[in-house]
Chain A
Amino acid sequence: MFNFAFNSLHEAIYMNGHGLYVWSVVILVFVSLLGFFIGYTIKIKKIKDKLNEPN
Protein backbone atom coordinates (compact mmCIF):
# COMPACT_ATOMS: atom_id res chain seq x y z
CA MET A 1 0.00 0.00 0.00
CA PHE A 2 2.89 2.39 0.68
CA ASN A 3 5.12 1.51 -2.28
CA PHE A 4 6.44 4.45 -4.27
CA ALA A 5 4.43 4.31 -7.50
CA PHE A 6 7.26 5.52 -9.74
CA ASN A 7 10.77 4.32 -10.61
CA SER A 8 12.41 7.73 -10.23
CA LEU A 9 11.71 11.31 -9.16
CA HIS A 10 11.74 12.37 -12.82
CA GLU A 11 9.04 9.81 -13.56
CA ALA A 12 7.00 11.09 -10.60
CA ILE A 13 7.16 14.61 -11.98
CA TYR A 14 6.44 13.59 -15.59
CA MET A 15 3.72 10.99 -14.73
CA ASN A 16 3.66 9.56 -18.25
CA GLY A 17 2.64 12.89 -19.72
CA HIS A 18 0.03 13.71 -17.04
CA GLY A 19 2.42 15.51 -14.68
CA LEU A 20 1.62 18.93 -16.11
CA TYR A 21 -2.09 18.50 -15.30
CA VAL A 22 -1.60 16.95 -11.86
CA TRP A 23 1.11 19.32 -10.60
CA SER A 24 -0.62 22.43 -11.94
CA VAL A 25 -3.68 21.51 -9.82
CA VAL A 26 -1.38 20.93 -6.81
CA ILE A 27 0.06 24.44 -7.32
CA LEU A 28 -3.44 25.92 -7.74
CA VAL A 29 -4.64 24.43 -4.43
CA PHE A 30 -1.42 25.30 -2.58
CA VAL A 31 -1.40 28.92 -3.80
CA SER A 32 -5.13 29.40 -3.09
CA LEU A 33 -4.89 28.06 0.47
CA LEU A 34 -1.67 29.91 1.24
CA GLY A 35 -3.04 33.14 -0.25
CA PHE A 36 -6.20 32.99 1.85
CA PHE A 37 -4.33 32.13 5.07
CA ILE A 38 -1.82 34.97 4.54
CA GLY A 39 -4.57 37.35 3.41
CA TYR A 40 -6.75 36.83 6.49
CA THR A 41 -3.76 36.92 8.86
CA ILE A 42 -2.71 40.31 7.43
CA LYS A 43 -6.31 41.62 7.50
CA ILE A 44 -6.74 40.59 11.16
CA LYS A 45 -3.38 42.12 12.11
CA LYS A 46 -4.27 45.40 10.37
CA ILE A 47 -7.66 45.73 12.06
CA LYS A 48 -6.14 44.81 15.45
CA ASP A 49 -3.51 47.56 14.98
CA LYS A 50 -6.27 50.00 14.02
CA LEU A 51 -8.31 49.09 17.10
CA ASN A 52 -5.25 49.51 19.30
CA GLU A 53 -4.61 53.03 18.02
CA PRO A 54 -5.36 55.71 20.65
CA ASN A 55 -8.41 57.82 19.73
Chain B
Amino acid sequence: MIKKFIHQFASPKTYLYQVDRFYSYIFLISLITYTISITWGLLYTPEDFVQGNSYRIIYLHVPASFLSQSLYIAMAISSVTYLIWRVKLAAYLVIAIAPIGAMTTFIALISGSIWGIPTWGTWWQWDARITSTLILFIMYLGLISLHNSFSNHEKADKLLSWLVIVGAINIPIIKKSVDWWSTLHQSASITLTDKPSIDPVMLYPLIGSITGFFGLVICLVLLSSKYQIFIREKNKSWVKDYV
Protein backbone atom coordinates (compact mmCIF):
# COMPACT_ATOMS: atom_id res chain seq x y z
CA MET B 1 0.00 0.00 0.00
CA ILE B 2 2.84 2.40 0.90
CA LYS B 3 4.63 1.41 -2.29
CA LYS B 4 1.49 2.11 -4.38
CA PHE B 5 0.99 5.48 -2.66
CA ILE B 6 4.61 6.53 -3.16
CA HIS B 7 4.70 5.47 -6.80
CA GLN B 8 1.42 7.25 -7.53
CA PHE B 9 2.40 10.58 -6.02
CA ALA B 10 6.14 10.53 -6.59
CA SER B 11 6.23 10.13 -10.34
CA PRO B 12 8.54 12.76 -11.89
CA LYS B 13 5.66 13.97 -14.07
CA THR B 14 3.28 14.60 -11.14
CA TYR B 15 6.13 16.16 -9.16
CA LEU B 16 7.03 18.56 -11.98
CA TYR B 17 3.44 19.81 -12.32
CA GLN B 18 3.18 20.27 -8.52
CA VAL B 19 6.46 22.22 -8.51
CA ASP B 20 5.09 24.58 -11.16
CA ARG B 21 1.90 24.98 -9.15
CA PHE B 22 3.49 25.93 -5.81
CA TYR B 23 6.94 27.35 -6.65
CA SER B 24 5.95 31.04 -7.06
CA TYR B 25 4.00 31.10 -3.78
CA ILE B 26 6.79 29.47 -1.75
CA PHE B 27 9.39 31.75 -3.34
CA LEU B 28 7.45 34.97 -2.73
CA ILE B 29 6.50 34.16 0.88
CA SER B 30 10.06 33.02 1.70
CA LEU B 31 11.69 36.05 0.08
CA ILE B 32 9.44 38.47 2.00
CA THR B 33 9.94 36.58 5.29
CA TYR B 34 13.71 36.41 4.84
CA THR B 35 14.10 40.07 3.81
CA ILE B 36 11.99 41.35 6.72
CA SER B 37 13.70 39.08 9.27
CA ILE B 38 17.22 39.91 8.11
CA THR B 39 16.49 43.67 8.11
CA TRP B 40 14.89 43.32 11.55
CA GLY B 41 17.84 41.37 12.95
CA LEU B 42 20.59 43.47 11.39
CA LEU B 43 19.18 46.93 12.03
CA TYR B 44 16.36 46.80 14.61
CA THR B 45 17.59 44.51 17.38
CA PRO B 46 19.71 45.88 20.24
CA GLU B 47 23.47 45.38 20.43
CA ASP B 48 24.62 42.29 22.36
CA PHE B 49 26.20 43.04 25.74
CA VAL B 50 29.12 40.62 25.25
CA GLN B 51 29.66 40.31 21.49
CA GLY B 52 28.62 43.79 20.41
CA ASN B 53 27.29 44.10 16.86
CA SER B 54 29.17 41.08 15.54
CA TYR B 55 26.45 38.84 17.03
CA ARG B 56 24.18 40.00 14.14
CA ILE B 57 25.96 37.38 11.98
CA ILE B 58 23.73 34.90 13.85
CA TYR B 59 20.84 35.84 11.48
CA LEU B 60 22.85 34.53 8.53
CA HIS B 61 25.04 31.85 10.10
CA VAL B 62 22.41 29.86 12.04
CA PRO B 63 19.94 29.43 9.12
CA ALA B 64 22.78 28.23 6.86
CA SER B 65 24.10 25.87 9.52
CA PHE B 66 20.61 24.49 10.24
CA LEU B 67 19.96 23.92 6.54
CA SER B 68 23.35 22.29 5.90
CA GLN B 69 22.37 19.49 8.30
CA SER B 70 18.66 19.37 7.37
CA LEU B 71 19.48 18.96 3.69
CA TYR B 72 21.75 16.02 4.44
CA ILE B 73 18.95 14.40 6.47
CA ALA B 74 16.62 14.98 3.49
CA MET B 75 19.21 13.28 1.24
CA ALA B 76 19.43 10.32 3.64
CA ILE B 77 15.60 9.94 3.71
CA SER B 78 15.51 10.12 -0.11
CA SER B 79 18.28 7.51 -0.30
CA VAL B 80 16.37 5.10 1.94
CA THR B 81 13.20 5.70 -0.11
CA TYR B 82 15.11 4.97 -3.32
CA LEU B 83 16.80 1.83 -2.04
CA ILE B 84 13.65 0.32 -0.48
CA TRP B 85 10.89 1.34 -2.89
CA ARG B 86 12.96 2.06 -6.04
CA VAL B 87 11.41 5.50 -6.45
CA LYS B 88 13.29 7.26 -9.25
CA LEU B 89 12.32 10.71 -8.01
CA ALA B 90 14.04 10.00 -4.66
CA ALA B 91 17.29 9.25 -6.50
CA TYR B 92 16.95 12.47 -8.50
CA LEU B 93 16.37 14.39 -5.26
CA VAL B 94 19.56 13.02 -3.68
CA ILE B 95 21.76 14.46 -6.42
CA ALA B 96 19.60 17.60 -6.72
CA ILE B 97 20.02 18.43 -3.02
CA ALA B 98 23.80 17.86 -2.87
CA PRO B 99 24.99 21.14 -4.50
CA ILE B 100 22.52 23.19 -2.42
CA GLY B 101 23.73 21.38 0.71
CA ALA B 102 27.34 22.16 -0.24
CA MET B 103 26.41 25.83 -0.71
CA THR B 104 24.68 26.15 2.70
CA THR B 105 27.56 24.33 4.43
CA PHE B 106 30.04 26.65 2.69
CA ILE B 107 28.06 29.69 3.94
CA ALA B 108 27.94 28.20 7.46
CA LEU B 109 31.72 27.61 7.49
CA ILE B 110 32.73 30.99 6.03
CA SER B 111 30.23 33.02 8.09
CA GLY B 112 31.37 31.13 11.21
CA SER B 113 35.00 31.90 10.41
CA ILE B 114 34.24 35.58 9.86
CA TRP B 115 32.24 35.66 13.11
CA GLY B 116 35.16 33.97 14.90
CA ILE B 117 37.61 36.82 14.16
CA PRO B 118 36.00 39.47 16.43
CA THR B 119 34.52 36.92 18.88
CA TRP B 120 37.23 34.29 19.44
CA GLY B 121 40.21 36.16 18.02
CA THR B 122 40.75 33.44 15.42
CA TRP B 123 39.03 32.53 12.13
CA TRP B 124 39.66 28.78 12.49
CA GLN B 125 39.99 26.24 15.26
CA TRP B 126 40.13 22.46 14.83
CA ASP B 127 37.37 21.90 17.36
CA ALA B 128 34.73 19.17 17.07
CA ARG B 129 31.85 21.31 15.73
CA ILE B 130 33.86 23.17 13.10
CA THR B 131 35.80 20.09 11.97
CA SER B 132 32.68 17.91 11.67
CA THR B 133 31.01 20.68 9.62
CA LEU B 134 34.08 20.81 7.36
CA ILE B 135 33.76 17.02 6.94
CA LEU B 136 30.10 17.53 5.95
CA PHE B 137 31.19 20.05 3.28
CA ILE B 138 33.83 17.63 1.93
CA MET B 139 31.21 14.85 1.92
CA TYR B 140 28.84 16.97 -0.17
CA LEU B 141 31.62 17.75 -2.68
CA GLY B 142 32.69 14.10 -2.75
CA LEU B 143 29.14 12.89 -3.43
CA ILE B 144 28.72 15.38 -6.30
CA SER B 145 32.09 14.41 -7.85
CA LEU B 146 31.36 10.70 -7.48
CA HIS B 147 27.95 11.00 -9.15
CA ASN B 148 29.42 13.02 -12.02
CA SER B 149 32.18 10.45 -12.57
CA PHE B 150 29.65 7.70 -13.50
CA SER B 151 28.23 7.33 -16.98
CA ASN B 152 25.70 4.76 -15.75
CA HIS B 153 23.14 6.80 -13.79
CA GLU B 154 21.49 3.82 -12.08
CA LYS B 155 24.79 2.51 -10.71
CA ALA B 156 25.65 6.02 -9.52
CA ASP B 157 22.26 6.40 -7.81
CA LYS B 158 22.67 3.14 -5.89
CA LEU B 159 26.24 3.82 -4.77
CA LEU B 160 25.42 7.40 -3.86
CA SER B 161 22.39 6.37 -1.80
CA TRP B 162 24.44 3.88 0.24
CA LEU B 163 27.21 6.43 0.80
CA VAL B 164 24.70 9.11 1.89
CA ILE B 165 23.18 6.69 4.43
CA VAL B 166 26.61 5.74 5.81
CA GLY B 167 27.65 9.41 5.94
CA ALA B 168 24.53 10.32 7.92
CA ILE B 169 26.45 9.26 11.04
CA ASN B 170 28.16 12.67 10.83
CA ILE B 171 24.89 14.57 11.50
CA PRO B 172 24.40 13.53 15.16
CA ILE B 173 28.15 14.06 15.63
CA ILE B 174 27.81 17.68 14.40
CA LYS B 175 24.70 18.20 16.52
CA LYS B 176 26.11 16.72 19.72
CA SER B 177 29.75 17.80 19.28
CA VAL B 178 29.30 20.86 21.53
CA ASP B 179 27.93 18.63 24.32
CA TRP B 180 30.31 15.66 23.94
CA TRP B 181 33.55 17.64 23.70
CA SER B 182 34.89 20.89 25.07
CA THR B 183 34.62 23.18 22.06
CA LEU B 184 35.20 26.83 21.26
CA HIS B 185 31.81 26.83 19.55
CA GLN B 186 28.93 27.70 21.85
CA SER B 187 26.10 25.25 22.51
CA ALA B 188 22.77 25.61 20.68
CA SER B 189 20.72 28.75 21.51
CA ILE B 190 17.49 27.08 20.37
CA THR B 191 16.55 23.48 21.08
CA LEU B 192 13.29 21.57 20.86
CA THR B 193 13.42 20.49 24.50
CA ASP B 194 14.70 23.51 26.44
CA LYS B 195 13.65 27.14 26.73
CA PRO B 196 15.70 29.27 24.29
CA SER B 197 18.77 30.87 25.89
CA ILE B 198 18.38 33.88 23.62
CA ASP B 199 16.27 36.96 24.44
CA PRO B 200 12.89 37.08 22.58
CA VAL B 201 13.85 40.44 21.01
CA MET B 202 16.67 38.64 19.23
CA LEU B 203 14.90 35.29 18.93
CA TYR B 204 11.90 36.32 16.77
CA PRO B 205 13.94 37.68 13.84
CA LEU B 206 16.16 34.58 14.12
CA ILE B 207 13.15 32.27 13.76
CA GLY B 208 12.00 34.42 10.81
CA SER B 209 15.39 34.27 9.12
CA ILE B 210 15.58 30.48 9.56
CA THR B 211 12.05 30.10 8.11
CA GLY B 212 12.71 32.45 5.19
CA PHE B 213 16.08 30.89 4.35
CA PHE B 214 14.51 27.43 4.62
CA GLY B 215 11.85 28.45 2.07
CA LEU B 216 14.41 29.92 -0.33
CA VAL B 217 16.54 26.81 -0.11
CA ILE B 218 13.46 24.65 -0.76
CA CYS B 219 12.90 26.74 -3.91
CA LEU B 220 16.49 26.05 -4.99
CA VAL B 221 15.96 22.32 -4.39
CA LEU B 222 12.77 22.47 -6.49
CA LEU B 223 14.69 24.15 -9.35
CA SER B 224 17.59 21.73 -9.03
CA SER B 225 15.30 18.68 -8.99
CA LYS B 226 13.41 20.05 -12.00
CA TYR B 227 16.73 20.26 -13.86
CA GLN B 228 17.62 16.69 -12.82
CA ILE B 229 14.26 15.42 -14.10
CA PHE B 230 14.84 17.09 -17.47
CA ILE B 231 18.32 15.57 -17.71
CA ARG B 232 17.26 12.07 -16.68
CA GLU B 233 13.89 11.85 -18.39
CA LYS B 234 14.76 13.78 -21.57
CA ASN B 235 13.92 10.85 -23.83
CA LYS B 236 10.43 10.37 -22.38
CA SER B 237 7.54 11.63 -24.49
CA TRP B 238 5.84 13.40 -21.56
CA VAL B 239 8.93 15.62 -21.04
CA LYS B 240 8.76 16.75 -24.67
CA ASP B 241 5.04 17.49 -24.24
CA TYR B 242 5.78 19.37 -21.03
CA VAL B 243 8.44 21.72 -22.45
Contacts and interface: CB of A to CB of B under 8 A. Distances in A.
User: Is A bound to B?
Assistant: yes
Contacts, number: 95
B226 A25 contact: no
B100 interface: yes
A32 B68 CA distance: 14
B61 A25 contact: yes
A37 B223 CA distance: 8
A18 B219 CA distance: 32
SS class, residues of chain A in contact with chain B: helix
B43 A12 contact: yes
B46 A5 contact: yes
Interface in A19-49: 19, 21-22, 24-26, 28-29, 32-33, 36-37, 40-41, 43-44, 47-48
Contact of B117 (A3, A6, A21, A43): A21
Contacts of A48: 230, 243
Nearest to B99: A36
> How big is chain B's contact interface, by range?
35 or more
SS class, residues of chain B in contact with chain A: helix
B240 A51 contact: yes
A45 to B, nearest CB: 10
Contacts of B52: 15-18
A33 B212 CA distance: 12
Choose among A4, A19, A29 the residue with the greatest number of B CB atoms under 10 Å from its CB. A29
Contact of A25 (B57, B100, B201, B216): B57
Contacts of B3: none
Given A22-B42, A28-B111, A29-B60, A16 B53 contact: yes
A37 B217 CA distance: 10
Interface of A: 1-6, 12, 15-19, 21-22, 24-26, 28-29, 32-33, 36-37, 40-41, 43-44, 47-48, 51-52
